[in-house]
Structure 1
Amino acid sequence: MQALKKAPRNFLVIFFSLITSSYLYFQLNRLGYIPALFQLLDIVCLHNCIAQSNLHKPLAGKQLLNYNQKITEIIGLSTIEKTQISILIEKSKYRLTVYHAQEPIKSYPVVFGKNPVNDKVKEGDLSTPEGIFKIRDLYPHSAWSKFLWIDYPTPDSWRKHFQAKREGKIGKLDRIGSEIGIHGVPTGADALVDQRSNWTWGCISLKNQDIDELYQIVQQGTQVEIIP
């Protein structure tokens, strides 16, 4: 009889413990300290993960491909099949290249975070992340014309973050960061790109006329590969 009386109380303790734990996990994830639950299975291979394969074959040299032509003229189509579009960003060459059906069709000059060489491992390191991402959303931006929001941090990003913590390269309480994307420049500031002035906090920046064209041919889910 006494055990039956304790049962409801034990249930309430378990219930409120679950609610409290879930809330705490959500807050820590929102603040960038721990990954989302759906990413955990992809992250746990901390020591035996298969390295990501490159999606694109980079262009030779440092030139910009077809930069002075419109993409629709290059492809010869008035309507571009967005599912065939992907993007390669080469940090060392300050170049973003659009690929259609895995073939390079046009390049744009870009700049990066104020620490342009290193891979991003934490919030505030001013580095641009490397890896394979997808566009999670895209929208007009009041300050930088357009914003293509990529899905950083990915499971691979979290693995790099945790490895940097284990090796003592970053602090135990450092957060991974978020809100990385591809965007334009402040109005009238195209010179930032011409002069290769790495002015962002980790995002990729194009001239506004270029991000406006890019915005028309990508969609949610478009793959973005960023390499050193």
Structure 2
Amino acid sequence: MNTIELQQTLPEVFAGRDSIVSDIWHKQVALQRGKTYLIEAASGTGKSSLCSFIYGYRRDYQGIICFDGENIRNYSVSQWVAVRKRSISMLFQELRLFGELTAWENVQLKNTLTGYADKKQIRQWFEALGISDKWNERIDKMSFGQQQRVAFIRALCQPFDFIFLDEPISHLDDGNSRIMSEILIEETKKQGAGIVVTSIGKHLPLNYDRIISL
């Protein structure tokens, strides 16, 4: 996948609003593979909705979203499976981890489906992000910042053309944010992938090709 295009897209819940000032909603926007984007937004302007629309998790929007020119509303279940397994990785704001499972088990679930990363590499990511001691700890016993790092590692356990990170460092200090950026740059460079980060203030320290206001 090389291009994600939004054509006059708008969440249905915004349809009754008289005026919307946005670089995305009701505009034509193309996200290109290999580029790095920051989507800046105030709370309640639809950034998490945007991620869900692109991931096919929600369909309550007006307009058109296309992957390489094909309207995603026409995608079959098997096409969505392929996209989520090989083309788009998504780190949701709410993380969507399984609280009753350990950090490793959460990551292993994803990696078993894709077979992408070896266990040694995953351990190295845990160590770099300062959570190696949480490997066998249940997610519901961990802080939200620790959970964010686990969810980030899980998002890396697949091939992708684009990786979306919805407020990935809201609970991280500057040191861990920098390490996350370094890992992200290394992994996306290997795959020639695009990066899309959303933020309501604090954001990953990256060299963004474009900053978009939602």
Same fold per superposition (TM over 0.5): no
User: Higher relative CO (CA 8 A, sep ≥ 6), structure 1 or 2?
Assistant: 2
Interval of TM-score (by shorter of Structure 1 and Structure 2): under 0.3
Q: Which has the larger radius of gyration?
A: 1
Question: What is the TM-score with the length of structure 1 in the denominator?
Answer: 0.23
Question: What is the TM-score with the length of structure 2 in the denominator?
Answer: 0.24
Higher percent of residues as helix: 2
